[in-house]
Structure 1
Amino acid sequence: MADPMQARRMALTADLVALVQRTIDDAGPLPGMTYLSEQDYDAMVEDLLRAHPPGEDAWIFAFGSLIWKPECEHLEERCGTAHGWHRSFCFRIQRYRGTVACPGLMMSLDRGGQCKGVLFRLSAQTLRQQLGKLCRRETTHKPPNTVPRWITVVSEGVSQRAIAFVINRESPAYVGKLAPGQIAEILARACGHWGSGAEYLFHTVCRLEERGIHDRYLWQLQQLVAEQIASDQRRGGQGAGGQPAPAR
């Protein structure tokens, strides 16, 4: 794999990310939310399996944290391009990598364009269990922010069906297309019990670059987030008065 530091140097460094990290207790489920039940997850997995030939391995398309934290057993990985989808920090979060006081943004696949990512091949023998773990990790409440669906990914000139978790535009958390500067301001300040938005962006860009995938959207964001963190530090903290600035 290519060394990204030899080809191009990221402005967002581990040292800058560390400046954003804070120890935050998990406040628990958000009030007013209806969370998915075990029956809901089982039904989600069944829907995916009904559209897949029995006894065959399946592919998962990873475009963000699944690349550097897959949490599933896979037999093979390869790079691929999903046409008709693009990466976007397009839904707001108040838990995990954000809080109610300082919401964050999370990335998903939104319609249009194309996205280069990583395909993981899952064994048919454990497919149901693996999909169950992935659905429980990627979706939490109703209506879900992201939904699993079969998409087409081109890898080495061959079209391959794969499961991807894409944005649900009907979710109240969906914010659509935000300006890069606005996204950077939020990612540079938001942090939850899972870590910060800056950390999420840092790991994603690093792992993509290691695989020779250069995403111009994320590359611009990492530059802007680095600049925002540095600016906040010069002012003596995150946002006005040293407090995390609220996401707008």
Structure 2
Amino acid sequence: MTLKITRETLQNGTVRARQLEYAALHPEMRWRTELEMAALLEDILAQHDATQDLWVFGYGSLIWNPAFHYIEKRPALLRGWHRRFCLKMFMGRGSPQTPGVMLALDQGGACHGVAFRIAAGKVREELGILWQREMHGGAYHARLLPLEAEGEPIAAVTFVINHDHPRYIREISLEQTAALIATGCGDLGTCREYLENTVKHLGELGLSDEGLVRIAAALPNP
């Protein structure tokens, strides 16, 4: 069954139900409990002044499908982390039969993306929606990291890869990445669509990621 990541499906439990179905099929994976997710949310909130707006950094699908409410967005640069396909997927844009691979932020280098500003009074609600999307599977750590956004230094909630996660891919060649993207498909759609959307929307912002462009060029014709 096709699944769409929207504000509604995150709020009404549709996405969560699918996550739990997958967790039941793969008990060997380390899934975060509701209590753990709540504690991690409180950790981030404790680092932020509740009277101030909060920024969130998007580097993949958040750029073109944030699904949370924000009042401003800006091109932004994150230093010390780079975007790469390093998370193997057996759900979402992959399946056990057609595994895929997704972007995450790994250490080193730099990454151009988008900073979204959430109004102070909506921070807890909007981060709660993001948490349902990003944090249950345990593949990401949430960090408050410094960005440069249109010449201004800001701090933003950023989801970076968990190196201890069993789906983390430490090393993968361009050819291996392209092969997984070419065939990866699940209930959210294909990895090819994910890559093409990311490249397209970065371009619309006047941004480019040469690594993604090389991977796209290595894909076989659909």
| TM-score interval, smaller chain | 0.7 to 0.9
Cα-to-partner distance string for 1:140-196 (whole Å, 9 max, x where unaligned): 23xx11111111111222221111110001111111231111100100001001101
Q: CA deviation at 1:109?
A: 0.5
Larger Cα Rg: Structure 1 or Structure 2? 1
Match of 2:188 in 1: 194
Residue in structure 2 matching 1:31, options 3, 26, 29? 26
Unaligned runs of 5+ in 1: 1-22, 234-248
Residues 38-187 of structure 1 correspond to what in structure 2 (within 5 A)? 38-141=34-137, 144-187=138-181
Whole-angstrom distance in 2 between the partners of 1:192 and 1:148: 25
Deviates more, 1:56-65 or 1:29-38: 29-38
Whole-angstrom distance in 2 between the partners of 1:35 and 1:156: 37
Q: CA deviation at 1:119?
A: 0.3
Conserved 8 A contact 1:135-1:148: no
Whole-angstrom distance in 1 between the partners of 2:40 and 2:67: 18
Conserved 8 A contact 2:37-2:136: no
Q: CA deviation at 1:198?
A: 0.3
What is the TM-score normalised by the length of structure 2?
0.87
What is the TM-score normalised by the length of structure 1?
0.78
RMSD: 1.7
How many residue pairs end up in the alignment? 204
**Structure 1 letter corresponding to 2:123:** L
Q: CA deviation at 1:35?
A: 3.1
Q: CA deviation at 1:39?
A: 2.0
Match of 1:244 in 2: none
Q: CA deviation at 1:135?
A: 1.1
**How much identity, in percent, do the aligned residues show?**
35
Unaligned runs of 5+ in 2: 4-17
Match of 2:197 in 1: 203
Cα-to-partner distance string for 1:179-225 (whole Å, 9 max, x where unaligned): 11110010000100110100100111110000000110111111112
Q: CA deviation at 1:132?
A: 0.8
Give secondary structure in 2 for the equivalent of 1:35. coil
Q: CA deviation at 1:34?
A: 4.6
